[in-house]
Amino acid sequence: MTLHPAAWMAWATCAGVVAFTTTDPFYLGVLVAIAWFVYATCRVPGPTARSFRVFAIGGLMAMAIRTALVFLGTVDASNVAFAALEGARLATLLIVFGTFNAVTDPFGVVRLAPRRFHEPALAAALALSIAPRTIATAGRVREAQQLRGIRTARWRGLPSLAVPVLESGMEEAVTLAESMDARGHGRGRRTRYRPAHWTPAGVAVVVAASAAAGVFLAAAWVGLGGLHPSTSPLTWPEATPWLIGVLLLLALPGIFGAFRDPVA
Amino acid sequence: MNEVLRFEGVTFRYPESEIAALDDICLAIDEGTFVLAVGPTGAGKSTFLRAANGLVPHFTGGSFKGRVTVGGRDTMRYPPRKLADVVAFVPQDPASSFVLDRVEDELAYGMENLGVDPAHMRRRVEEMLDLLDIEPLRGRSVRAISGGERQRVAIAAAMAAGPRILVLDEPTSQLDPQGAEHVVAALQRLVHDQGMTVLLAEHRLERVAGSVDLAVGFHEGRAQLGSTADVIRNLAMGPPVARLGRLAGWDPVPLTVREARRMGGALPPRAHDRTEGPGDTMVEIRGLTAAHGDVPAVRDVDLQVGAGEIVALMGRNGAGKTTLLRTIVGVHEPRRGSVRIMGRVPHPGVDAALCPQEPDAILFADTVLDEVRTTLRARGRDEATAGLVLDALGIAPLAACHPRDLSAGQRLLVATAAVAAGGAPVLLLDEPTRGLDPASKDRLVRFLRGHAAHGGVGIFATHDVELAAAVATRVVMLAGGEVIADGDPGAVLGDSLVFAPQMTRAFGSGWLTPEQVAGALA
């Protein structure tokens, strides 16, 4: 799916805003399903597509850790439920982010940043790409150690995994910075090669996503739709059908993706 | 002529290092010349190249004395980005230098930064795609293409920006012979037709010695600019034809196959060595098919390798060499067929050990010695034998160094030592001579022979035909994942246009090494 990178940026931001406004498992569940649908229909083939899985696993781990933290203090049903819902929100945010990474190139987005914001945007893009890169390196290193008969699964084998992964990561970052500088990054005057064009589909995605985010922000403002189910006392969460309908606006890129012209 | 690069009394030390990486270098390079930087591993070539565009010292720190001017600009006063319109740099590992994801965007990146007019940029990208023969890759991700393809993309991206001087650190190290010829020819064309200056470091001199105009020889941080023949003579290194010239006492030493043929005269075809047949079968591969996802990499391969054999796996980039090695060692699951080592399913690191193409993935210890000891400890072997392995590979003097402070070639030797130390009878090496100087290569050859002589098996994947000619007892040629030739190196390499070593080209069938030819001429 060749949406304008800025359209993807808008989609991801809006989906993130929606996730941020609610801890209701139904809304979050629908949002996760939408993120998966968009990933499945719009992902760019190649190694970046893996980042969805990485962020999904990371999200589930974050949720588990958030919940487990409760067990350090007073444990009762409402505390656990509260932590689990907070964790679910965090997991949803990460999954949306994973989709964003899998459907568009973070560096492509950086190129759109106005010149004044170029440096912070670049730092952000580099930071975003660290997790998927680290995971790829870890796989490579693990296998390389196996080739000489070292098992990295054991505690004693940990340095043999962690040291090359971290050092390679550092070296990669430095080499990248060097390469960008040597290729004239930050000289000021800049032109663009084949700039991406806005299509009606891209505009529609931005409008739909903004509408969804707007409605959820408004609902949170006036306290409508049970966005935060009560955990004390513990009650069964509820969801309003029309808000679910609004959520489905975020699935629009997936619908475009499913019907895309295979040649384009 | 117009001078484009000048070093005046340049002395440089890396931070926390006592030794001068560059020691009082004075030289000037004229516009429109093709210059080769040559010298032993770790002699300062990479540092020199990186000083030419200001990466040294702007990105390294350290103490820098003297002056480098490129296109009239002092590199101390101009940071690398302010030199990007004059000098472009292709680092040793191109993959680490890619900024964008798509090949096409990567080619345009430098031009975008320079503010090149979009219409001109569009045309220029197309020209570069054609010049390096990478048009089919234009829409692909730079992370999803082969090593050789990446190298060509990096070169195209550097050339696209239209610099006056192009600096390349071992640009053919990951390329098959045909791809290397292609790249060298493209560089030569830029020099001849567009007056560009090209400065490149290369160890495989047979690939470039005949094409360059001048050479800079490096030895322990000192440099000398001169004719290629003089520099090669002073450093006592060079392509196989130069080695032959030295063995036979010719002066000047030949640099190309043509010169060697003229000086040596005709020789009758050489009969194949009558070697005793291989020992007991150690590696047995039957009907092996392996794939990456849906893409087949190895198809229906049958191979038996006996004790004492040294097998060179050859074939163009992407022919399936690496996948075959990974399947033999036991980390890549075959789709069909089987691999048995001494009758059993191989256990990685025990029955067979593999040194991968990227040695950095295995280096983690604080010292070279410790790196080897770790393998010995993991395999439950005597740690005292670590010194022997280092000695055999000629890296004993580096025992106390931190592996990551070494040059690319030295790191590769350390990784090889760390893998070989485990004592697996089947030793597999993936591109074992990247960045190695001739002396290190000789030691690797002796090491492999020693391993085979003790009843082991050596199998290596390589693009280095001269290495295959020097050490292999058998050559297996792969194409599209299938074995297309298997036999004596003289026979397999001899009747190939692309893979024939220099001695075969100069003196005909059966002649593989300078030593053989020198013996026959004496």
- Give the ipTM of the model, two decimals please: 0.81
Residue A145 lies in a domain: yes
CB contact under 8 A, B81 and A164: no
Instruction: State whether A145 and B362 contact (CB < 8 Å).
Output: yes
Region of B32 (left: φ > 0; alpha: ψ -120 to 50; beta: rest) is left
Residue A128 and residue A156 share a domain: yes
d(CA B195, CA B255): 24
- Contact flag A179-B355 (C-beta cutoff 8 Å): no
Q: Which of A44, A137, A148 lies nearest to residue B418, judging by beta carbons?
A: A148
Query: What Cα–Cα distance (Å) separates residue A81 from each residue in A226, A231, B258, B303?
Result: 16, 6, 81, 60
Given a contact cutoff of 8 angstroms between Cβ atoms, the answer to whether B48 and B218 are in contact is: yes
Same domain, A24 and A96: yes
CB contact under 8 A, A178 and B59: yes
Has residue A263 got a pLDDT over 50?
no
> Distance (Å, rounded) from C-alpha A2 to C-alpha A230?
42
Report whether B75 contacts B51 (CB < 8 A): yes
> For position A264, what pLDDT does the model report?
41
Q: Which residues from chain B sit within 8 angstroms of residue A140, using beta carbons?
A: 358, 361
Tell which of B98, B109, B333 to mutate to test the A interface (max A CBs under 10 Å). Answer: B109
Are the Cβ atoms of B101 and A46 closer than 8 angstroms?
A: yes
Tell me whether residue A190 is in a domain.
Answer: no
Q: What is the mean pLDDT of residues B275-283?
A: 81
CA distance B402 to chain A (A): 13
Does A157 have pLDDT greater than 90? no
pLDDT over 80 (residue A114): no
Q: Which residues pair with B312 in a beta bridge?
A: B460, B475
Give the number of A-B residue pairs with CB atoms closer than 8 Å: 181
Asked whether the predicted pLDDT for residue A51 surpasses 90, the reply is: no
Q: Does A171 touch chain B (CB under 8 A)?
A: yes
Of the partner residues A150, A159, A187, the one whose CB lies closest to the CB of residue B113 = A187
CB contact A172 to B (< 8 Å):
yes
CA distance, residue B452 to nearest chain A CA (Å):
19
B331 vs A contacts (CB less than 8 Å): 143, 146-147
Express each pLDDT in B162-203 by its tens digit: 999 999 999 988 888 888 888 899 899 889 988 999 999 999
Lookup: tokens for B229: 């023949």
Chain B neighbors of A103, CB-CB under 8 A:
none
Task: Yes or no: say if B37 and B45 are a contact pair by the CB < 8 Å rule.
Answer: yes
* B441 to A257, B181, B255, B393, B512: CA distances (angstroms): 53, 22, 19, 9, 16
Residue B139 pLDDT: 87
Residues A132 and A249 in one domain: no
DSSP A231: B
Q: Are residues A128 and A176 in the same domain?
A: yes
A187, part of any domain: no
| Mean pLDDT of the B27-44 span | 93
Q: In which band, very low, low, confident or very high, does the pLDDT at B275 lie, cut at 50, 70 and 90?
A: low
**Within a domain: residue A141?**
yes
A87 and A51, same structural domain? Answer: yes
Question: What gap in Å lies between CA B110 and CA B100, rounded to an integer?
Answer: 11
- CB < 8 Å from B in window 70-99 of A: none
- Alpha helix ranges (H) inside B249-378: 257-264, 321-329, 368-378
Share of chain A above pLDDT 90, in %: 36
Q: At what angle do helices A5-21 and A25-42 cross, to 10 degrees?
A: 160
Q: Is B429 helix (H, G, I), strand (E, B) or coil?
A: strand
Cis peptide bond prior to B57, omega within 30° of 0: yes
Residue A240 lies in a domain: yes
CA separation, residue A21 to residues A33, A213, B28, B194 (Å): 17, 9, 65, 61
Give the pair of three-digit tokens for residue A91.
């997991």
Q: What pTM was computed for the model?
A: 0.83
Cα B418 to Cα A214, B280, B362, B376: the distances in Å are 59, 27, 8, 8
Q: Are residues A246 and A134 in the same domain?
A: no
* CB-CB under 8 Å, A186 with B81: yes
pLDDT number for residue B132 = 86
**Contact by Cβ (8 Å): B270, B293:** no
Of all helices (H) and strands (E), which one includes residue B8?
Answer: strand B3-13
- Select the residue of B116, B121, B353 nearest A148 (Cβ to Cβ): B353
Q: What is the residue whose two structure tokens read 């070989």?
A: B420
List the 209-248 stretch of A: residues with Cβ below 8 A of B.
none
Q: Please enumerate in sequence order all residues whose Cβ is within 8 A of that of B17, keeping only pairs 6 or more positions apart, or say none.
A: B62
Which residues constitute the domain of residue A135? Answer: 116-182
Residue A237 has a pLDDT of 86
Q: What is the pLDDT of residues A192-205, one digit of tens each?
A: 888 878 899 999 99
* Least confident range of A259-263, B210-214, B234-238, B453-457: A259-263
Interface membership of A180 toward B (CB under 8 Å): yes
| pLDDT number for residue A75 | 83
Q: Tell me how many domains chain A contains.
A: 2
Give residues with Cβ within 8 angstroms of A43, minimum separation 6: A49, A52, A102, A103
Name the amino acid, one letter, at B312.
A
Instruction: Give the percent of chain B with pLDDT over 90.
Output: 69
**Do A184 and B59 count as a contact with CB atoms less than 8 A apart?**
no
Q: In whole angstroms, what is the distance from residue B239 CA to residue B259 CA?
A: 12
Under the banding of pLDDT at 50, 70 and 90, the label for residue B12 is: very high
Going by pLDDT thresholds of 50, 70 and 90, the confidence category of residue B276 is low
Percent of chain B with pLDDT over 70: 99
Question: Is there a contact between B378 and B365 (Cβ–Cβ < 8 Å)?
Answer: no
Q: How far is CA B294 from CA B170, B320, B335, B336, in A?
A: 33, 14, 11, 14
Q: Look over chain B and give the mean of its residue pLDDT values, rounded to a whole number.
A: 91
Q: Are strands B281-292 and B295-306 parallel, antiparallel or unpaired?
A: antiparallel
B349-395 pLDDT tens trace: 899 999 998 888 888 888 999 999 999 988 889 998 999 999 999 99
The single residue listed with the structure tokens 């505390």 is: A79
Name the domain boundary from A155, A182, A209: A182
Nearest residue on chain B to A104, alpha-carbon basis: B101
In this structure, are residues B451 and B420 in contact, taking their beta carbons and an 8 Å threshold?
yes
Give the whole-angstrom CA distance, residue B459 versus residue B474: 10
A15 and A90 in a single domain? The answer is: yes
- The predicted model gives B82-97 an average pLDDT of 89
> Which tokens hold the place of A174?
């430095």
* Interface contact A154, partner B, CB < 8 A: no
**Cross-chain CB nearest to B81 (options A148, A185, A194):** A185
Handedness of CA B206, B212, B218, B224 (dihedral sign): positive
Whether residues A202 and A97 share a domain: the answer is: yes
Contact A185 B108 (CB under 8 A): no
Residue that the structure tokens 């801890």 belong to: A23
Q: Give me Rg for the CA atoms of chain A.
A: 21
The B residues from 309 to 348 touching A (CB cutoff 8 Å) are 329, 331, 348
Indicate the range of A71-80, A103-112, B158-167, B437-446 predicted with least confidence. Answer: A103-112
Sort out which chain A residues have CB atoms less than 8 A from B356's CB and list them.
Answer: 143-144, 147
The answer to whether residues A55 and A20 belong to one domain is yes
Residue B15: partners with Cβ closer than 8 Å, 6 or more residues away: B60, B61, B62
Query: What's the pLDDT tens digit per position in A68-79?
Result: 888 888 888 888
Q: Can you say whether the dihedral through the CA atoms of B117, B108, A110, B168 is positive or negative? A: negative
| Residues A79 and A24 grouped into a single domain | yes
Facing residue for B113 by CB, picked from A160, A176, A190:
A190
Among candidates B157, B331, B374 on the partner chain, residue whose Cβ is nearest the Cβ of A143: B331
Nearest to A172 among B53, B96, B364 (CB): B96
CA–CA separation, B206 and B209 (whole Å): 6
Same domain assignment for residues A82 and A156: no
Q: Are residues A91 and A131 in the same domain?
A: no
Contact across the interface for A149 and B350, Cβ inside 8 Å: yes
Residue A188 located in a structural domain: no
Please indicate if any CB of chain B lies within 8 Å of the CB of A194: yes
Residues of chain A positioned with their CB less than 8 A from the CB of B161:
183-184
**Residue of B496 and B303 predicted with greater confidence:** B303
Q: Does residue A193 belong to any structural domain of this protein?
A: no
Q: Which of A115-124, B208-217, B400-409 has the lowest mean pLDDT?
A: A115-124
A210 lies in a domain?
yes
